[in-house]
Chain A
């Protein structure tokens, strides 16, 4: 254990060294003298000197002695002739009951219950404090002022002890958190209702609760020079591909930024092609979904303060799947996936088709329909493109307003949008009734996407397609779709082709988990594109049915049918 015992150093020497910062853990002084480059070396760290007054004053200097939410509680453990100590913590971030009962009560009151002979042979204060007194589960030692400050800001309570060049950090985190609730963005009919909250440890526990494998690894990172946000990388050792793990770790370590406030920050720093409108990192609020992905050999990233977990690698196919797809029966799922596929085409192309057909190709429509549209459009002041753009913009504005406004008002905005603006605009002769139907259908289709990230991308792409349709009709749409396809083919998520399993094609994957969803007992292998180290997830012959026993059929009571 480093730096735990007091060494005979002269007080004046110590003060000089500490204040001048000459003595440091990393040799930063030398580096500074050598004119090391800024940002490439670790910042100099100040060690604890083992004199409570000096160490505490250094901590106060850094954190601010008059900062109202930081508590410096000095006391003498073991009576008047005992050891001076101080516990430092942020009010509101710690569990005060744990501090009072686990630290202060034991060090001030219970310490007297230990007979003096019990301390024989344990002269070092940290030994008897840690082993005999502190009633706290998570305890560790740190040796620098910087680590003490990091611990305080992370919600722990370090105890500075006079005579010790190490501080005892007690894990007493305890701030008010949101309770576990059903995720708003991924509601399902059948399946668990639990969703992630904003606390990292709660979220990792939700994953652990479902995945009781000793191979589950939770690697921790602190990202953000100022926010020092805890970020956890989750994967199953021996299952996830080492290269993808290495790539994920290196991308996380490469993030040098002042603050990380949400998983969305991390996503934007680790994705492969930042200028693409399509998401390349999956995002979910559901622990069951994260576990499902981990079992496939993928990785998850959980960020403290965010209820969303990121999933890597994520292909386009994964954005079209709902967690419910695996809880329901295959035929139902296949039907729902077909519906989603049709909805996605509708969400992308309906307004563009309207613009193209009404502007350039009315002859393509059956005559009665063409006449009906022509009658509906008669006297309308705007061309179809402007008309469609206007209505789409109105819809997007209503949607944005609905999100921002408090819920009761949000509903009111919906009613205003649907009845007043919709009907009134038709009655006023601004837009045709067919367009209103098309915009509504498009909106409904957008909500059919299981992933709001993909739904947002489709919303964005719809507008350039409308423009192309307005410029050159169906040719423009086809041109845009080819361009879009080429763009999608260029995308990769952590090296995995985005359009897998369609291109590069994998017949097995297509027939297993795309539009077609094989029965769970038929999905024997994990997705090979993420290169799982253990590709087989279940043994052969898992098809349910009456089990054969010694070649004989058995009936319900387990007896032979013979």
Chain B
């Protein structure tokens, strides 16, 4: 990337366009976020011994869901799903589809917000009321997004290094405690546990596909969209697979089911040479950062789709509008048990079908209307404008 692209000619700088590396880091906010906290428990309980295989397998298989996203992003450079869906399906149906995507992402935002609050409360501050975490996290998210998407991308660039560092540290520090018997034998119950685990991970892929369809419109260089998206997806998959491997290797599938948060339990038992102990506070602190970035990503997706559907609503206003139902949704969840019951329902039975339907519909109609041919007037024109 050249320096020219980093520095805006105006002193204020661009508030929306980001580089490809920033794009990768932003994509981590959805693909890693706090998923490693829940994914280990969910997939572990479904897939049992095959859990550590289910995660990388699902990531590889679900790459296919990203194909339409990259296809549309290259055909409609600089545009988000809320915009090009109206071009493909027409104003009414395009808006309807965008609203459906917005609704599922809003529901996901509420659950992730609650999950982050619950996680922090359970880990370190059990006596603090949950609303305190919800409100303070919301303030932080709104403040971040008010400063523009480019600022958020740079925040991801800096803070995700801490998160990734903490996760890698967790994996490396737990290696000495890994019992290989916890990873073998596999497939003694057949393929079904693996496939069910993959289906659960597919819900994450659906979220990422929707998010990618939004952030692709912010990349400076439209040609790097596919590479950027794939990089973010696969690196995240690798990291989550490593964590899954470490957690399962240390605790085994039976014990994993009992824990609310297996990575947290792992953080509690790691030690380095008998000197560094009790590092869970530092690790949990870095995970709260991941939670914040993930909530921000969901918030942004929801708010920006709203502005695309209703162009008269400004972005700050839409942020305030979506924050009310998200807060309400997060607050109304009774407890952690209910939260963990809602997560799989939301991802597997709501987000995944909606995303598959949306992208399937878009690609079919676009194909029928001849919008997928290379160099169509709309795509070409936009590309030229960008260049």
Contacts and interface: CB of A to CB of B under 8 A. Distances in A.
A1 interface: no
A247 B11 contact: yes
Interface in A461-520: 472-475, 477-479, 482-483, 485-486, 489-490, 492, 494-497, 499-500, 502-506
A529 B288 contact: no
B151 A486 contact: yes
A364 B278 contact: yes
A190 to B, nearest CB: 31
B278 A365 contact: yes
A524 B13 CA distance: 28
B369 interface: no
Contact of B6 (A247, A272, A504): A504
A495 B140 contact: no
A495 B7 contact: yes
A495 B155 contact: no
Interface string B31-50: 00000000000000000000
Interface in B1-55: 1-4, 6-13, 19, 21-22
B334 interface: no
Nearest to B281: A364
Contacts of B147: 486, 489-490
Interface string B303-324: 0000000000000000000000
B336 interface: no
Given A475-B120, A475-B133, A492 B13 contact: yes
A272 B11 contact: yes
A44 interface: no
Contacts of B278: 364-366
Contacts of A7: none
Contacts of A482: 140, 155, 159, 289, 292
B124 A361 contact: yes
A475 B21 CA distance: 29
Contacts of B155: 482, 485-486, 489, 503
A479 B136 contact: yes
B194 to A, nearest CB: 37
Nearest to A526: B3
Given A482-B159, A485-B158, A489-B155, A531 B11 contact: no
Contacts of A247: 11
A495 B10 contact: yes
A482 to B, nearest CB: 6
Nearest to B132: A472
B125 A360 contact: yes
Contacts of B63: none
Nearest to B161: A502
A496 B124 CA distance: 39
A485 B288 CA distance: 14
B151 A361 contact: no
A504 B158 contact: no
B154 interface: yes
- Residue of A479, A486, A528, A529 ringed by the most chain B CB atoms within 10 A: A486
Nearest to B22: A504
Contacts of B157: 502-505
Interface residues of A, number: 37
A486 B144 contact: yes
A500 B289 contact: no
Given A475-B120, A483-B143, A489-B154, A506 B6 contact: yes
Contact of B140 (A365, A483, A490, A529): A483
Interface string A269-309: 00010000000000000000000000000000000000000
A243 interface: yes
A534 to B, nearest CB: 13
Interface in B233-284: 277-278, 280-281, 284
Given A479-B140, A504-B22, A360 B124 contact: yes
A502 B3 contact: no
B128 interface: yes
A530 B7 CA distance: 8
Contacts of A483: 140, 143
Contact of A489 (B9, B12, B151): B151
Contacts of A361: 124, 281
B143 A486 contact: yes
A528 B3 contact: yes
A497 B289 contact: no
Interface string B112-132: 000000001000110010001
- Residue of B6, B22, B151, B157 ringed by the most chain A CB atoms within 10 A: B6
Contacts of B281: 361, 364, 474
A389 to B, nearest CB: 22
A496 B3 CA distance: 10
Given A495-B11, A504-B157, A473 B151 contact: no
Contacts of A505: 21-22, 157
Contact of A472 (B12, B125, B154): B125
Nearest to A500: B6
A496 B8 CA distance: 8
- Residue of B124, B143, B154, B280 ringed by the most chain A CB atoms within 10 A: B154
Nearest to A477: B285
Contacts of A495: 7-11, 13
Contacts of B154: 489, 497, 499, 503-504
Given A360-B124, A475-B125, A497-B6, A502 B158 contact: yes
A494 B4 contact: no
B277 A366 contact: yes
Contacts of B13: 492, 495, 497
22 contacts: A243-B9, A247-B11, A364-B281, A365-B278, A472-B128, A474-B281, A475-B124, A478-B289, A482-B140, A485-B158, A486-B144, A486-B151, A489-B151, A489-B154, A492-B11, A492-B12, A495-B9, A499-B158, A504-B6, A504-B154, A506-B1, A531-B7
Interface of B: 1-4, 6-13, 19, 21-22, 120, 124-125, 128, 132-133, 136, 140, 143-144, 147, 151, 154-155, 157-159, 277-278, 280-281, 284-285, 288-289, 292
| 8 shortest interchain CB distances as A-B pairs | A528-B3, A503-B154, A503-B157, A489-B154, A364-B281, A489-B151, A504-B6, A495-B11
